Structure 1
Amino acid sequence: MVGKVGVVEQHEDARLADILPSDIEPERPSAARVYDYYLGGSHNFAVDRAMAEQAIRILPELPANMRANRAFLRRAVRYMISQGVRQFLDLGSGIPTVGNVHEVALSEASDARVVYVDIDPVAVAHSQSILEPVPAATVVQADITDPTTVLGHARQHLDFSRPVGVLMIALLHFVPESANPGALVARYRDVLAPGSFLGISHGTSDEQGERGPAMEALYSRSANPLVSRDRAAIERLFDGFELVEPGVVFVPLWRPEPGALPAATPPERTATYAGVGRVR
């Protein structure tokens, strides 16, 4: 017998399927939808929930870690706003639910503009619905490993002669070495005006023991295989940028808000580094 939770999930899956293009069959987990599940969202399918639960068994702190990652996103956006940035390009944005870039940016600066980019059709369809009443924000369905296409769309909404805050939050650990993530970041960097910023958060196996390889093995069965990198490799992604203090650190340690309570979990248990760099 299917319980109430199962009935609700089946109904939600059917509703989500209705918004997808007819040629899309969500048979494999998607990083955007799994991330939504970690955050307590409802824009995910049974296959995403099943994978997320497997990941949580490997790393029980995952939901809290994802919230810490989202908190870093908010701090990074506020910092960039404080430095004069009013335009944001959020790459691999997922679903812009509560506390995402446009909400934070517009709460700090009414003239802010945001372009979200994601390849997942569910993420994009839901983003379009969420952003319909927000003229300052838009979403583009595109592959972030194709900067020419992404930037072509972004230039219709953002002025790259002025500072832009580029966000690669929980993104680059889904870019394999064969795609040369350093060169990819550089292609975005090279179009940015002085005073622009790059924010990155990135999964790591540093100090994770066997949990890191176990997580990579799990994600290898998804549409978005996971590539863990160490701190030095993540620092190299900021080549050509001036790192903002405190540099690349575990995500709760990047400029915690004054008066914030210490994290209940040791920072290294987040398995995620974060940093922000400036274009001079």
Structure 2
Amino acid sequence: MFETWDATKRIAEAKRLTERLVDHAHYLLDIRENNVIVVYSDQLAKQIPRSYAANAFNLFREAMHQIEIVRLSALWDQAQIDNETILTVIELVDNEEVIKTLAEAARAQYARVPEPMDPNEPAEEREFALKFLQEINAKRGEEHANNAVAGLRKAIADARAIKSSSQLKSIHHLRHKHVAHYLTQTKEERSGEIIAPMKVGDEKPVLEASLKIMELLYCWVNGVGISFEESQKIDKKCARELWSNCKFEIVDRSKPTASMLRNR
């Protein structure tokens, strides 16, 4: 779909989409850290006794888990011009001219050589210092360009692997058939493909791989290093601050309590 686009247009759109992907990832990580407590621990569940409240709580947990699945699955929707997905960015950058252009941009970061230190030094020494700095920067620039090529190719290969993975297929299948849509059969089932049911926890390796791919894309497409690790720490702290201070007290209204008896 991007065959007619030149490298400059492809890169501009890839930069824009990668920025959006990072925003989507931050929201997904917020949900994830809340689900670590709500869905994957008994911190809240053990406070709920056998009661009608348990039904409501189970529904709440299921809804929290489903929105995480929906958001993660959306990151991996098919590449389309209007889709802000990892695969759209991959289609944009999986092009030799694009990779070459991005490698040149990485190399150019080391093209500028600072002026030699002391202008009062003899011209001969300043010329030697300048040549030395040029050689150092040229070497660094070449290494940076090679890292850009390697990073982009790794992001492309890893994304292709995730796209065809059984975990992602199971996640997509759950979303399409039971969460986002009510389908009797998915497109894959109609074609005879057997998709294994998603197991709780299948989303974790897909999410972790997605973050690493986005970090590579942001670094070598947008030219800025990024790490989700600090964001995850903040999200974890916020989730703990809420749920560690959230206490359930379920009262059976069909039985009189001491306060109710006093008020009679």
Q: TM-score range by the shorter chain?
A: under 0.3
Structure number with larger C-alpha Rg: 2
Q: Which has the higher helix share?
A: 2
Scaled by the length of structure 1, what TM-score is found?
0.21
Structure 2 length normalisation: TM-score?
0.22
Structure richer in strand, relative to its length: 1
Query: Which structure exhibits the higher relative contact order, with contacts defined as CA atoms closer than 8 Å and separated by 6 or more residues?
Result: 2
